[in-house]
Structure 1
Amino acid sequence: MMSSSRKTTLVLGGTGRSGALIAQTLARHGLDARRAARHGGDVVFDWDNQSTYGPALEGADCVYLVTPVMRTRFAGQVATFLDLAEQRGVRHVTYLSAYGSDRAPPEIDIYAAERELAGRTALGHSILRPAWVMQNFADQHLPLIGDTFTVPTGGGAEAYVDAADIAAVAVETLVDPDAHAGAHYAPTGPHALTMDQVVDIVSRAVGRPIASNDVDPEHWIGSAVEAGFVPADYAVMLRWLTSSIISGNGARPNTDVERVTGRPATSFEVFARRHAAAWALRSVA
């Protein structure tokens, strides 16, 4: 169990999907959680402003590490942050990576950041490699437009995971870091689903037909860049993420969520019923 010297957990991305849930759950455990974000957190944290690193880390014992969003190159920033974390006495870091990170193109620093963390003997670590997050379908990432989800999957399947399950696994590693030192977990949902199966589930949840448009990936990526939704250099990330599903190498179900948390992973059916109202509001002609 955790040591009596436990202080504060610094939660990077503390206002985001998993970070906000982690902070809330840690608080329910009676632990101090410091939400760090550029806006709206307990402390200001900006990856591009190193002067924010020190105040965020002050008194922190554990860190939930989320790298800069919409970036492909960030290993140097992570190294600088971890240098300071060591100096400030942090003893454990849980890193939010991505499923199949060890197969990511070299232009993406996600696996390099894993190696940077794992190579530090002064820091205990756990690494999370979750599947695509179910919440992508309920927010601006994959918006429902004209009752259609547009995403290139080539008919491939993915074991989409609920962000709440990612957070639950992360919390276990932060509450009892010694028990999860050096662990690599790949949180997934209980079923690998094609887009046809996804839209069938959503259709039943909202009570009307929902369709999918399996477009050409380069057209989809180019449109996202042209519209300004992502930077041009982020195209390599989108290409990798979609090609994994198209090639048949999408996430496959495993028992990591249940093994770590003691409860089964959330199904897409449960998720869809929970978010049915959001889809009704977000569908536009």
Structure 2
Amino acid sequence: MTGSPQTTLVLGGTGRTGSLVAKTLAERGLSARTAARHGADVLFDWDDPTTHAAALAGVDRLYLVTPVLRVTYADHVAAFLDLAEAAGVRHVTYLSTYRADQAPPEVDIRAVEADLAARTAITHSVLRPAWVMQNFSDAHVPVVDGVITVPAGGGREAFVDAADIAAVAVETLLAPDAHAGAQYAPTGPQALTVDEVADTIAVVTGRPVTHHDIDPDVWIDGAVAAGFVPADYAVMLRWLTGSVISGNGSTPNGDVEKVTGRPAATFHDFAQRNVHAWTSPVAG
């Protein structure tokens, strides 16, 4: 990809990967514009198309993060990508999900991948990361009173640091031609059980941490009842947890090192860097 401008629009620009993508792009000399409903460089709301054109003005590449906590969004994304093409975007890096080809048909993950593959005016790269390590240090799967409550059934997952996902994304955005059509599945270097995650957090914090392997339906129904997720998102949670429980969780690969030139972070490294998440006065 040649010519100017060379500016990336980063959707979810205040989020776990988006904020890091924007920061690293800027450090590497490429202009980055964060977009979100609050706190970003520009206002962007998937439900307000009037915010889309202004966000796209003057950009030629896009970090695509689809609407969160939803299962149906392909039409929204397709309309936005049409607008992006018309505005001059020539490369899209899409944050998908591990084994997206196995996602339930009710979820639009595969539809967005197919949409990108069918477009000839833009190149694309697809990232299919494993579960992020940050799930355990924020409100997604927090440690509450020394307990991690999540269904896992003893299954393993190659949890990946969001910083490593962002690092892979950055490389695809800096050199779109070199990564055109590429599909990467960023993972950590170890496939861990949640019990092993709890043990690692206990070691770095010096506090007891255990895993409560709750029944999946109880956990999902509780999340819906508490308003943490909408009712139709239950199918997504059931698929994600079911993959781990059935032994079909992510397995370590070398994609992070292949793309970035450095090995993926271990969970122990991540826990040491984020120990404050579990030891600060407000931590559970």
Q: Supply the distance in 2 between the matched residues of 1:113 and 1:254 (Cα, whole angstroms).
A: 24
RMSD: 0.9
Alignment correspondent of 1:205? 204
Task: Compute the displacement of 1:283 (Å).
Answer: 4.0
Q: Supply the distance in 1 between the matched residues of 2:229 and 2:41 (Cα, whole angstroms).
A: 27
Q: TM-score, normalised by structure 1?
A: 0.98
Alignment correspondent of 1:228? 227
**What whole-Å deviation, never above 9, does each CA across 1:233-262 have from its counterpart, x for those lacking one?**
110110010000001000000000000000
**What whole-Å deviation, never above 9, does each CA across 1:140-174 have from its counterpart, x for those lacking one?**
00111110000000100000000000000000000
Residue segments in structure 1 that go unaligned for 5+ positions in a row: none
Residue segments in structure 2 that go unaligned for 5+ positions in a row: none
Asked whether the equivalents of residues 159 and 250 of structure 1 are also in contact (C-alpha less than 8 Å), the reply is yes
The AA in structure 1 aligned to 2:257 is: E
Alignment correspondent of 1:127? 126
Asked whether the equivalents of residues 116 and 124 of structure 2 are also in contact (C-alpha less than 8 Å), the reply is yes
Alignment correspondent of 1:74? 73
Alignment correspondent of 1:218? 217
Alignment correspondent of 1:20? 19
Asked whether the equivalents of residues 95 and 127 of structure 1 are also in contact (C-alpha less than 8 Å), the reply is yes
Task: Compute the displacement of 1:3 (Å).
Answer: 2.5
Alignment correspondent of 1:185? 184
Task: Compute the displacement of 1:278 (Å).
Answer: 1.0
Task: Compute the displacement of 1:4 (Å).
Answer: 4.0
Alignment correspondent of 2:152? 153
The AA in structure 1 aligned to 2:18 is: G
The AA in structure 1 aligned to 2:16 is: R
Q: Supply the distance in 2 between the matched residues of 1:280 and 1:222 (Cα, whole angstroms).
A: 29
The AA in structure 1 aligned to 2:204 is: A
2:196 counterpart of 1:166: no
Equivalent position SS for 1:78: helix
Q: Supply the distance in 2 between the matched residues of 1:42 and 1:146 (Cα, whole angstroms).
A: 37
The AA in structure 2 aligned to 1:206 is: T
Q: TM-score, normalised by structure 2?
A: 0.98
Q: Supply the distance in 2 between the matched residues of 1:274 and 1:205 (Cα, whole angstroms).
A: 10
Equivalent position SS for 1:152: coil
2:35 counterpart of 1:36: yes
Q: Supply the distance in 1 between the matched residues of 2:2 and 2:161 (Cα, whole angstroms).
A: 30
**What whole-Å deviation, never above 9, does each CA across 1:104-161 have from its counterpart, x for those lacking one?**
0000001111111111011100000000000000000011111000000010000000
Deviates more, 1:80-89 or 1:275-284: 275-284
Q: Supply the distance in 2 between the matched residues of 1:116 and 1:20 (Cα, whole angstroms).
A: 25
Task: Compute the displacement of 1:275 (Å).
Answer: 1.2
Equivalent position SS for 1:60: coil
Alignment correspondent of 1:270? 269
Q: Supply the distance in 2 between the matched residues of 1:98 and 1:116 (Cα, whole angstroms).
A: 16
Asked whether the equivalents of residues 5 and 58 of structure 2 are also in contact (C-alpha less than 8 Å), the reply is no
Asked whether the equivalents of residues 62 and 93 of structure 2 are also in contact (C-alpha less than 8 Å), the reply is yes
